[in-house]
């Protein structure tokens, strides 16, 4: 029992002391040619295991790093790939197990993509609505999912400043989908039967 407690304490300390991207994450961030990254797919066993893992929080030491800038640029290129476009993407979908998402803000002029570190949905407002969803990591499938149409989101921006935002409409649905990825949950887990 003491050994188990010691192992759990050491694991928690390792996570708490995370000072930046791991060597494996850096390798993924810089792997391949061009900016479009390989998207993890549930069709691949190793990918599926990564997609089902709870992601580690981003820490301030990551902000401003070349790795974070490269990851943002490459995630944006990946989600905008004309051959496989999306409206949001989470870091684990490209093989980086960090709590970071990019979401297309349909609730803002020009529908820009924005990045969010350690996003957390702190409230779901109003009734949930049924809507169609798909996912870059679940190829050739769509399903109906109940989602809140309005949420309160707490996150850190790319300067690591804590922010709170109320998000409505389709953009709120995208956030719920992407934040689920950070907890190892896929939309197919929430599909209406």
- DSSP helix/strand/coil, 136: coil
What pLDDT sits at residue 16? 39
User: pLDDT band at 19, cuts 50/70/90?
Assistant: confident
Q: What is the overall mean pLDDT for the chain? A: 91
The model's pLDDT over 40-84, given as tens digits with 9 standing for 90+, comes to 999 999 999 999 999 999 999 999 999 999 999 999 999 999 999
The model's pLDDT over 32-46, given as tens digits with 9 standing for 90+, comes to 989 999 999 999 999
Would the pLDDT of 25 be above 80? yes
> Is 178 among the catalytic positions?
yes
The answer to whether the beta carbons of residues 167 and 107 sit under 8 Å apart is: yes
Mean pLDDT computed over 138-152 = 96
Start-end of H helices in the chain: 2-16, 23-30, 45-51, 66-79, 170-182, 187-190
Tokens at 44, concatenated? 């691949």
More confident residue, 13 or 84: 84
Mean pLDDT computed over 119-140 = 95
Q: Which of 60, 50, 34 is nearest to 90 (CA)?
A: 50
The answer to whether the beta carbons of residues 101 and 179 sit under 8 Å apart is: yes
Options 114, 162, 178, 192, the catalytic residue: 178
Mean pLDDT computed over 162-173 = 97
- Long-range CB contacts (within 8 A, 24+) of 20-25: 20/59, 20/61, 20/62, 20/65, 20/67, 21/62, 21/65, 21/67, 21/68, 21/96, 21/98, 25/67, 25/95, 25/96, 25/97, 25/98
pTM of the model: 0.88
Domains of the chain: 21-190 (3.90.45.10)
Would the pLDDT of 8 be above 70? no
Q: Which of 159, 129, 160, 122 is nearest to 146 (CA)?
A: 129
User: pLDDT band at 18, cuts 50/70/90?
Assistant: low
Would the pLDDT of 85 be above 50? yes
The model's pLDDT over 100-110, given as tens digits with 9 standing for 90+, comes to 999 999 999 99
Pairing mode of beta strands 113-135, 138-156: antiparallel
């Amino acid at each position: 029992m003491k050994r188990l407690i010691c192992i759990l304490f050491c694991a928690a300390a390792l996570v708490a002391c995370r000072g930046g991207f791991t060597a494996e994450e850096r390798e993924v961030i810089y792997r391949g040619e061009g900016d479009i990254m390989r998207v993890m797919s549930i069709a691949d066993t190793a990918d599926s295991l990564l997609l089902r893992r709870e992601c580690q929080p981003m820490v301030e030491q990551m902000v401003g790093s070349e790795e974070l800038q490269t990851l943002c640029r490459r995630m944006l290129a990946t989600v905008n790939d004309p051959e496989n476009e999306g409206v949001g993407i989470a870091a684990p979908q490209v093989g980086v197990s960090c709590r970071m998402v990019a979401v297309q803000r349909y609730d803002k002029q020009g529908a820009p993509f924005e990045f969010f570190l350690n996003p957390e949905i702190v409230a779901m407002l109003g009734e949930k609505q049924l809507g169609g969803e798909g996912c870059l990591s679940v190829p050739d499938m769509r399903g109906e999912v109940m989602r809140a149409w309005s949420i309160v989101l707490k996150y850190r921006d790319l300067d690591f400043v804590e922010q709170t935002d109320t998000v409505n409409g389709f953009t709120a649905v995208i956030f719920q989908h992407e934040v689920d990825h950070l907890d190892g949950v896929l939309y197919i887990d929430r599909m209406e039967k």
